[in-house]
Chains A and B, each alone.
Chain A
Amino acid sequence: MKELSVNHLLGIKYITKEDIQLIFETADHFKEVINRPIKKVPSLRDITIANLFFENSTRTRLSFELAEKRLSADVINFSAASSSVKKGETLIDTVNNILSMKVDMVVMRHPNPGAGVFLSKHINSSIINAGDGAHEHPTQALLDCFSIREKLGKVAGKKVVIVGDILHSRVALSNIFALQKLGAKVKVCGPKTLIPKYIEKLGVEVEGNLIKALEWCDVANMLRVQNERMDISYFPTTREYAQQFGLTKKILDSLNKEIVVMHPGPINRGVEITSDVADSKQAIILDQVQNGVAIRMAVIYLLASKIKHHED
């Protein structure tokens, strides 16, 4: 019988290829479950999960909440905007207060990189990182790779280019780790100012020209331009960015092959991809969203199975 090698999902960096494969196999079963007339299983009926969002999120939070509810877990939600964090409470105090209400698992998004790792050293609950600053967003990378596997049959040997704001992107970093662990080749493409200077140390090639990158790849993952994280100007104007790094239908049709287009959302239509690309057959953006629920159910189920049952 297989189980995860970890008790938390803090980042793709900390898990093995076998862990990823086990998550995928389990997600296959949950994908079948969420397409049934009744989309709910009773596995986690004695588990309580706290969703702690210290940073804004819509789709990740909804996706986690849906995954938890489809597993029959009890769910409590917390968002920093309306809490005592504003009154000066520390992270450990906030979490310990919530855990004293007998919570078994924590799903946390936090603006500071490493917040999940820090927390895992101070509390006993199982932790899932739902994004920590510009560090990692493991479930997004898992659902991206799962979607590639679904569309192309496998991830190993595929060529994936990640386009856009690599510097501020936790999605990019987690994707690089996950794709490499699964045996894919990865390139990044974007304005020089938005490519971290150490990126080549990760075994990733940098390509400055979008057309060349697209000619090379099987899959293009178009990242969102994260204006909210840009404290200074990294490129002159959005229009110039769109002209150099935006994916249009014209570019897509000019390629000598059919590539798969992905986007982690939310889309800035007309910036990183145009509307006709986002709505085209080659885009699997909405499949990614559906797979997100199945992947999160798998991660939660596998981590919950490692929480020992105590007769209280």
Chain B
Amino acid sequence: MTPEQDSETSMSQKVLLNATEINIALHRLSCQLIENHDTFENTVLIGIQPRGIFLAERLKDVLQKEYKIKKVQLGYLDITFYRDDFRRSGKPLEANTTKIDFIVEDKKVVFIDDVLYTGRSIRSALTAIQSFGRPLEIELLTLIDRRFSRHLPIQPDYRGRQVDAINYEKVKVCWKENDGEDAVYLIEK
């Protein structure tokens, strides 16, 4: 990890969103969710492991504290065993924890991830969630939507910011609780 991190910081990086902008986006996304899901009585949020869970926790926080939604159900979904690049990626796929303590059958499910890129993770998540039942409907919320990079016909229902990035660039979302700051960077790999 260390040499990779070193080289990342030494390479050129551009701030796409700063902490204030992320905060504004979180509030807007929360309001958009409330427009469609009202009291969240029949809605559950699913953070996609490993990086979607931070955004999901933040949104839950904003919904409960700022907009007084009484109960927001949040689960974590790990998609490792459903990925389509097993034995193809050159490196082993390491799993993360799945934690869904509620029934998804007949619920409105909102998938939450930090960056939407090729769409393959979301394809895997769509398969994975079926193991827990048949949701009424599934929506997708991402903080960053990378345009023109999709491999599959998958689009977000809620997006924080749309970004044009080329293939050798990487979008990195940092969270205070994990990375020490709230920021979104565009990094040249």
Contacts and interface: CB of A to CB of B under 8 A. Distances in A.
Chain A interface main SS type: loop
B86 A43 contact: yes
A1 B92 contact: yes
A33 B87 contact: no
A43 B94 CA distance: 12
B133 A309 contact: no
A307 to B, nearest CB: 6
A33 B95 CA distance: 12
Given A29-B78, A305-B86, A309-B87, A37 B93 contact: no
A29 B97 contact: yes
A42 interface: yes
A307 B133 contact: no
**Interface bin, chain B:** 20 to 34
A125 to B, nearest CB: 14
B2 interface: no
Contact of A43 (B81, B96, B97): B81
A306 B81 CA distance: 15
Nearest to A307: B87
B132 interface: yes
B12 interface: no
Given A37-B131, A43-B81, A1 B87 contact: no
Nearest to B96: A29
Interface residues of A, number: 25
Contact of B130 (A38, A71, A302): A38
B127 interface: yes
Contact of B127 (A29, A42, A301, A308): A42
Given A2-B94, A26-B95, A305 B81 contact: no
B151 interface: no
B94 A42 contact: no
Contacts of A80: none
Nearest to A33: B81
Contacts of B80: 29
A37 B132 contact: yes
A32 B82 CA distance: 15
B95 to A, nearest CB: 4
A304 B133 contact: no
Given A1-B94, A29-B95, A36-B132, A41 B87 contact: no
Contacts of B130: 38
A36 B131 contact: yes
Contacts of A36: 131-132
B68 interface: no
A279 interface: no
B162 interface: no
Given A37-B131, A41-B82, A42-B82, A305 B98 contact: no
A41 B97 CA distance: 15
A29 B98 contact: yes
B127 A309 contact: no
Nearest to A306: B92
A42 B98 contact: no
A258 B133 CA distance: 40
Interface string B71-109: 000000010111100111001111111100000000000
A98 B91 CA distance: 29
Nearest to B98: A32
B92 A305 contact: yes
A297 to B, nearest CB: 9
Contact of A37 (B82, B95, B98, B133): B133
15 contacts: A1-B91, A1-B93, A26-B95, A29-B95, A29-B97, A29-B98, A32-B97, A33-B131, A36-B131, A36-B132, A37-B131, A41-B82, A41-B131, A43-B83, A302-B92
Given A37-B132, A42-B82, 9 more contacts: A1-B93, A3-B92, A26-B95, A36-B131, A38-B131, A43-B82, A44-B86, A307-B87, A309-B88
Enumerate the 8 nearest inter-chain pairs by beta-carbon distance, A residue then B residue, closest first: A41-B81, A38-B131, A309-B87, A3-B92, A29-B95, A43-B81, A1-B91, A305-B92
